[in-house]
Amino acid sequence: FFQRHAGLGYTREDFLAVLQDLSGMDFEPFFADYVSGTEPLEPALTEAFAAMGLLLLPVPPNSPAEARWGLRTKEAPGGGLEVTELLPGSPLLAAGIAQGDELIALDGQRLQGDLDARLRLAPAMPHRLHFFHHGQLRETELPSQTGFALSIPQVVALGQPTEAQQRHQMAWQALTPFVPQP
């Protein structure tokens, strides 16, 4: 596929055709719902993994900033914090903050790698955040966030898989169509 399209690019239809050739399944509804659409992916993943005897379990976030704002950062060279990742649904995305931005002050106080400590001290209050976006100083107010909940799933085995689950696993590993047996 990639050799055939190297340097040329490929269309959505090209990619869907390859998926159908490999799996024997029509992926158009999946793409309509989850790639082009906004349907939550977790229920479909839960169902697909369950068919193989696997379970999705949420893993707690690593930090208050990650849990509350869906944000991962690293210390920026000039001080402050560089945004390295914004997770889907993050309130910071809605506030116009992007990957690569530099967070410099929270509630009028300079940030020096202490964002998590500050969020622990004032967990449910709104915050005023100053940041650089493409070199321009910006300011936004972030309302108190109680609705955003980060969930990063981990895949675990449910125990000894049934014969049907083993067939699903082998079909998935071999990238061959799975035909349920009566």
Q: How far is CA 69 from CA 53, 62, 132, 151, in A?
A: 33, 12, 18, 12
- pLDDT in the model for residue 90: 83
Question: 10-residue block means of pLDDT along the chain (182 residues)?
Answer: 72 89 88 88 87 85 78 86 86 89 92 82 81 94 67 82 88 64 55
Closest CA to 68 of 135, 132, 129: 129
Q: How far apart are CA 157 and CA 155, in angstroms?
A: 7
Domains plus CATH for the chain? 2-60+151-174 (no CATH), 64-142 (2.30.42.10)
Q: Using a cut of 0.95, tell me whether the model's pTM lies above it.
A: no
- pLDDT in the model for residue 28: 94
Q: How far apart are CA 143 and CA 89, in angstroms?
A: 15
